[in-house]
Amino acid sequence: MADRGVIIVEVGPRDGLQNEKTPIATTDKLALIGRLAEAGLARIEATAFVSPRWVPQMADHDAVMRGVPQRAGVVYSALVPNEKGAEAALAAGALALAVFTAASESFCRKNTNCSIAESIARFRPVMALAQRAGVPVRGYVSCALDCPYEGEIAPEAVAAVTADLLALGCNEIALSDTLGRGTPARTQAMVEAALLRGPAAMLAGHFHDTSGQAIANVEAAWQLGLRIFDGAVGGTGGCPYAPGAAGNLATERLVAHFEAIGVSTGIDLSALEQAGRWIGTRLRQTAQ
């Protein structure tokens, strides 16, 4: 595996596809994951073990997780909402788990039907399961900059949730600009607040590109020491519980940015771009 100066986490198969209205064939999801692994992505969030009633696109989570192409050095993770989801994900072969809460009480209640504190309490049995299985757990902090219901989120609120997730035992915290409205200055303030509660090595940046500021926000976080960033191939995605949230930052743009400034990603950009074009074509064909 190439020496990487930055770690790119590919969330396209989960966060990129979850909001698509037309069901995507499991074979297409697995083909996409295979292309991403071949391109050199070492961390791929493959699916979400959530209720099909709430996220129909993820109804085939068990088949996807069991069917991912095994490749040395590639870690496939699954998003889980609770202990039941974690048990199912681990049984299907997930090598890492991710849990999700928010820095906004309103968003948390809309997304998970509970308060921030209650959402974190739900993760305790998840952490116990993960510890017994020896797998790492990532914690997502949604609405780290803006909330569709509350507007701008105070950096201190993000820092408080970050601290709670780290105390719970999460190995990594993804600070997520769910709406993609963030600016570099506000990103800097948010990350600086989070860094008061945890080291840069345990923080990741997850930026949507709604306002075209994602790369600038990545750079702001990079300057503060973050070295883990999320991308979704083809810029797919958008949170189903965040009105107005457009696509994630395209992994292709993220890789191109770092390679341009001399930071190795270990990813074949040409192969990644081909994967992006392929899934774009498949999504258009599926929607017809």
pLDDT in tens, 66-99: 999 999 999 999 999 999 999 999 999 999 999 9
pLDDT at 255: 98
pLDDT at 181: 93
Residue range 187-209: average pLDDT? 97
Statement: residue 215 has pLDDT above 80 = yes
pLDDT at 239: 53
The third-level CATH classification (topology) of the domain covering 7-287 is: TIM Barrel (3.20.20)
Q: Which residues contact 80 (CB under 8 A, 6 or more apart)?
A: 48, 49, 50, 86, 88, 89, 97, 98, 99, 126
Q: Which residues are catalytic?
A: 239
Residue range 126-144: average pLDDT? 98
pLDDT at 85: 97
Q: What does the alpha-carbon distance between residue 225 and residue 215 come to, in Å, rounded to a whole number?
A: 15
pLDDT in tens, 12-62: 999 999 988 899 999 999 999 999 999 999 999 999 999 999 899 999 999
* Cβ atoms of 37 and 67 closer than 8 Å: no
pLDDT in tens, 220-254: 999 999 999 999 999 987 554 555 456 789 999 99
* Cβ atoms of 33 and 1 closer than 8 Å: no
Domain definitions of the chain by residue range? 7-287
